[in-house]
Amino acid sequence: MATVSEERRPAVSTGAVEARGAAGGAGEVAVRGSDFLQLAVADVPALGKAEWLAGRLRQAIGDGRLVVGSRLPPTRVLAADLRVSRGVVTEAYRRLAEDGQVEGRRRGGTVVVAAPFATKAGVRGGTRAAQAGSGAPLFLREPGAEVFDALRAAPAAVDLTPGRPDLTAFPRAAWLRAERAVLGELSADHLGYGDPRGTPALRRAVADWLARVRGVRVEPDAVLIVAGTAQALTLLHPVLRADGVDAVAVEDPGSLGARQHLLAGGLTTPPVPVDEDGVRVDALRATGAGAVLLTPAHQFPTGVVTSGERRRELLGWARDGGLILEDDYDAEHRYDRPPVPALRAMLADRVCYMGSVSKLLAPALRIGWLVAPARYRARLVTAKRFNDLGNAVLPQLVLARLMESGELERRLRLLRRRHRTRRDAMITALAGHLPGARVHGAAAGLHLTVTYESDVPDTEFAAAALARGVKCQPLSWHRQVPGQPGLVLGYAATPAGVIAEGVALLGETLRSLGRPLARPAARRFLTGRQGPDDEDVDRHHDQRPDGLVRQEQELRDEAEGGEEDTGEAGPRHVLEQTDAGDQYQSTDDDVDRAPAGEVPPVDVGADAGVDVVLDHGGYPLEDGEDAAAQHQGPGERDTAGHPAGALVRGLPRRP
């Protein structure tokens, strides 16, 4: 169960003040209640005390009496004031924590971190142009080099832009411990100019990480430490041109930012369409480009995983003289599918592999790596030397310490749990507020792509949403060839409760701009690819009655309290696995668990790349587990008559 931090001081009641009677002073009369929000004991109901208190706190946050940064009283103090058990107050705080409105900060107490926002007056009515409002200049023109800076600076109550990790989860304490340890051992010589390739310690740690997590075996000397994937592309510009490459094909849709970096280096970027198996190799050959930039483990923005057959075609194209630039930007963030090996593990001399910790820790660290074929390494080191003489040494040594100690893998496990919760909250909200839309890329990553059938351009949709306080990216930004409109919505950095409010505003915005989306009669079920070469399977949602929802919560609470969960909440219900052995727990682990409830069907397209493989216990496979060994035998079905292993949390079941 989520815990709420307390100040370590004696419990002193703020409102239960004892007053002596005026006559004789013999009797004592307790003035019962709390000065905090003027909560009176007489108002506490006989039943539903925690619900009542949580409602009063939400009301105070909503009307501004408790602003962001306000600290709530310690649970023991407020419980004494209201003459209730401490568990009542703890439960009320926990409910607000699940909504993302408060968080425990250990010795700092429980603090308000988010407040509801009001829809701007005047936006609900009027013309489309009026509703686009202040977002129009940003979205209704061709995106330039400054577009991402402008979008980051645009104010919004709900930020759903993709590519943003949860920066509140940055391991500050672990980083400080590692930094102190590094400084304690660091010699004076290490404070001078370092190796432009990166410190030997970090190159060894990255080589071990890639072998263990991504299946890429590489010597430390082959690793070049860079300031993120952006610098890796910048360093490759002159090297590629010197090698006779003047065009780098890109996926369509594909990352606008990556395309801009290539264009800035004087390279052309012919588009190559992406289907449900990944980039189309026949179209790639037709471009005549000597290189291609790919995101094969989790295609941006569609989320497609490049299939085994398509990988073999790509490797054949590369053996014929092509060069693959592999951007492995968020492959570690997977929830419902087995790990997919990097292309670099299959054809080392024709793949330039790029990765970073921007999505795992923080973009501000500006630390990434580039593993290139041997023929390019010397020229890339020269380009790095003349670019910045090498990355800062101290952050490299600290990161190496975190990698070697296992801290980074513990952080990844924590983030997977949190991101899965937020993803499920977004899917649930989309099902309720954009029921005719299709969701792509739910099995991994930090974002969802949502396409819809409407005459409203996605740039106009995004502009109107920004005017209402919701920030996201239109899918057309990432296209060179016109296609179906859509939005790219990030969920990793936003609490579940705020996600739900933001998606509700998106639904209102689209309905106000044009005809509402009609729920399709067919295609109400998730279909997707389990992984390379696996057959497509139907996906289902666990729609259960309220009693099972309550039972689910009870079982979750038991699991979080350290008890091992071995049961199910019903024949049609699967619980998310908890890592009972993971000692790296923090107060805010479960801050934004999506509220349980019946979820209407959401349509996710066959090209979504929603890759879900469950083990024999109904849980997603983790690193190192054999997906093939966990598959059910052909024709096996569960007690309800559905294919075994096809239950997916947060998704609809076939009637």
- Looking at the fold, whether 46 and 140 belong to one and the same domain comes out as no
- Looking at the fold, whether 518 and 502 belong to one and the same domain comes out as yes
Ordered DSSP codes for 398-410:
HHHHHHHHTHHHH
Segments forming the whole domain that contains residue 577: 128-162+412-630
Across 488-492, 527-531, 641-645, 649-653, the highest mean pLDDT is recorded for 488-492
What CATH number has the domain bearing residue 193? 3.40.640.10
- Looking at the fold, whether 198 and 104 belong to one and the same domain comes out as no
Q: Is 5 within the bounds of a domain?
A: no
- Looking at the fold, whether 331 and 270 belong to one and the same domain comes out as yes
The reported pLDDT for the residue numbered 363 is: 94
pLDDT mean across residues, the chain: 77
Torsions phi, psi for 294 (to 5 deg): -130, 155
The CA distances from residue 450 to 303, 427, 481, in Å, are: 11, 10, 18
Report the percentage of the chain scoring pLDDT > 70. Answer: 70
- Which of 27-31, 42-46, 144-148, 399-403 has the lowest average pLDDT? 27-31
- Looking at the fold, whether 254 and 387 belong to one and the same domain comes out as yes
Decide: residue 321, CB within 10 A, 0-12 exposed, 13-18 middle, 19+ buried.
exposed
- Looking at the fold, whether 560 and 451 belong to one and the same domain comes out as yes
Place of tokens 């668990």: 593
| Average of per-residue pLDDT across 591-601 | 38
Express each pLDDT in 312-327 by its tens digit.
Answer: 999 999 999 999 999 9
The reported pLDDT for the residue numbered 135 is: 57
- Looking at the fold, whether 470 and 544 belong to one and the same domain comes out as yes
Domain count, the chain: 3
Q: Is 7 within the bounds of a domain?
A: no
- Determine if residue 516 is left, alpha or beta; phi over 0 gives left, psi from -120 to 50 gives alpha, anything else beta: beta
| Average of per-residue pLDDT across 556-575 | 36
- Looking at the fold, whether 367 and 273 belong to one and the same domain comes out as yes
- Looking at the fold, whether 557 and 587 belong to one and the same domain comes out as yes
Cα Rg of the chain, angstroms: 27
Express each pLDDT in 215-273 by its tens digit.
Answer: 899 999 999 999 999 999 999 999 999 999 999 999 999 999 999 999 999 999 999 99
Torsions phi, psi for 385 (to 5 deg): -60, -45
Q: Is 428 within the bounds of a domain?
A: yes
- Looking at the fold, whether 87 and 69 belong to one and the same domain comes out as yes
